[in-house]
Amino acid sequence: MKALYKNKEVEVWQISKNDLTQPLWIAEAFTKNYLHWLDNSLRILIPALYPNWSKDDHNYGYGMYAIGKIGDVIDLTNGKVISKSKFEKDYQLI
């Protein structure tokens, strides 16, 4: 899906086990094991989805994985996982 964040268009996906219309980047991430279900949580390998992550010195050596819950949102453009409430507050679907 597309959304606006700080007046810029971003690519996002709301975490769901039953989403039959996953974007291509999500399907590829599951195929490559960048995304992996742990019961009802999703383990996300952030550097694989967001290559610029590794260029930020404060990320070096830790924080490679994020955990998202069903209903949370992955912001591919900015390389982060957002809670559903924060998404609804700060983002606008387009």
pLDDT tens for residues 37-54?
999 999 999 888 877 665
* Helix or strand holding residue 49 (H, E): helix 46-49
pLDDT tens for 75-90 read 999 889 999 999 999 9
Q: Is the pLDDT of residue 61 over 80?
A: no
Domain residue limits at 79: 2-93
Structurally, the chain folds into a number of domains equal to 1
Amino acid at 55: K
How many angstroms separate the first and last alpha carbons of the chain? 8
Global confidence as pTM: 0.86
The answer to whether the beta carbons of residues 53 and 79 sit under 8 Å apart is yes
The answer to whether the beta carbons of residues 16 and 70 sit under 8 Å apart is yes
